[in-house]
Amino acid sequence: MKPYLRLSSLLLILIAGCASPYKHLQPLETPQNSAFIYKPQFNKALYRCIVNGNLIFKKFHLSGILLFKTMENGTVRAVFQNEMGMTFFDFEWDGQDSFKVNQVIEQLDRPAVIKTLKKDLSLLLMKGLDKKSEKFFVGDRGKSTYHCFNIESGYAYYIETDKQLVRIENAGEKKKVITITTTGRNTPTDMPDSVFFNHHKANFTIALQKIQTHADE
The per-residue pLDDT for range 98-114, each reduced to its tens digit, is 999 999 998 888 898 89
Q: Are the C-beta atoms of 44 and 70 separated by less than 8 Å?
A: yes
When pLDDT is cut at 50, 70 and 90, the band that residue 5 belongs to is very low
pLDDT at site 9: 43
Q: Where are the domains of the chain?
A: 21-210
Angle, CA 123 vertex, CA 187 and CA 216 arms, to 5°: 45
pLDDT at site 127: 96
Burial zone of 80 (CB within 10 Å; 0-12 exposed, 13-18 middle, 19+ buried): buried
Contacts of 145 (CB under 8 A, 6+ apart): 28, 32, 136, 137, 138, 159, 160, 161
pLDDT at site 204: 83
Asked whether residue 139 carries a pLDDT value surpassing 90, the answer given is no
Burial zone of 2 (CB within 10 Å; 0-12 exposed, 13-18 middle, 19+ buried): exposed
Three-state DSSP class for 205?
strand
Q: What percent of the chain has pLDDT over 90?
A: 60
CATH architecture entry for 21-210 = Clam (2.50)
Asked whether residue 117 carries a pLDDT value surpassing 80, the answer given is yes
When pLDDT is cut at 50, 70 and 90, the band that residue 7 belongs to is very low
Nearest CA-CA partner of 206 in 141, 118, 133, 137 = 118
Q: What is the pTM of this model?
A: 0.85
Nearest CA-CA partner of 81 in 96, 95, 69 = 69
Give me the helices (H) in the chain, please. 2-18, 111-125
Asked whether residue 1 carries a pLDDT value surpassing 50, the answer given is no
pLDDT at site 13: 34
pLDDT at site 17: 38
C-alpha pair distances (Å), 187 with each of 39, 197, 215: 11, 21, 17
pLDDT in tens, 18-77: 347 788 888 887 767 899 999 999 999 999 999 887 655 567 788 999 999 999 999 999
C-alpha pair distances (Å), 61 with each of 53, 82, 107, 172, 216: 7, 12, 12, 27, 33
